[in-house]
């Protein structure tokens, strides 16, 4: 079975007793995964990757892994 494609995300920052950040991964308006962070730097890096990489992003729930599609070497950022 192919891993679901991530077509969007929702992010939350909780400031309660145990501060954390959460990203919910979306495919076709349904949640396909959720990632929790306690390290703000890792949260920010993941948000940056979701914003700037793509559109070929998939989610493997069993491994809790985001996969980004093949990109050619030496690709210039635009």
CA angle, corner 1, sides to 49 and 73, nearest 5? 35
Task: Give the tokens for residue 43.
Answer: 């949260």
pLDDT of residue 56: 86
Question: Could you say which DSSP state residue 38 is in?
Answer: S
22-59 pLDDT tens trace: 889 999 999 999 999 988 899 999 999 899 887 789 99
Please report whether residue 50 resides in a domain: yes
Q: Number of structural domains, the chain?
A: 1
Domain extent, residue 49, equals 8-62
pLDDT of residue 1: 65
Please report whether residue 20 resides in a domain: yes
Please report whether residue 2 resides in a domain: no
Please report whether residue 77 resides in a domain: no
Q: Does residue 8 contact residue 31 with C-beta atoms inside 8 Å?
A: no
pLDDT of residue 11: 92
């Amino acid at each position: 079975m192919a891993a679901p494609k991530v077509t969007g995300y929702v992010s939350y920052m909780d400031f309660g007793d145990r501060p954390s950040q959460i990203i919910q991964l979306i495919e076709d308006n349904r949640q396909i995964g959720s990632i929790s962070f306690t390290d703000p730097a890792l949260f920010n890096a993941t948000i940056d990757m979701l914003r700037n990489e793509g559109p070929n992003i998939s989610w493997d729930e069993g491994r809790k892994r985001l996969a980004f599609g093949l990109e050619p070497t030496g690709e210039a950022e635009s």
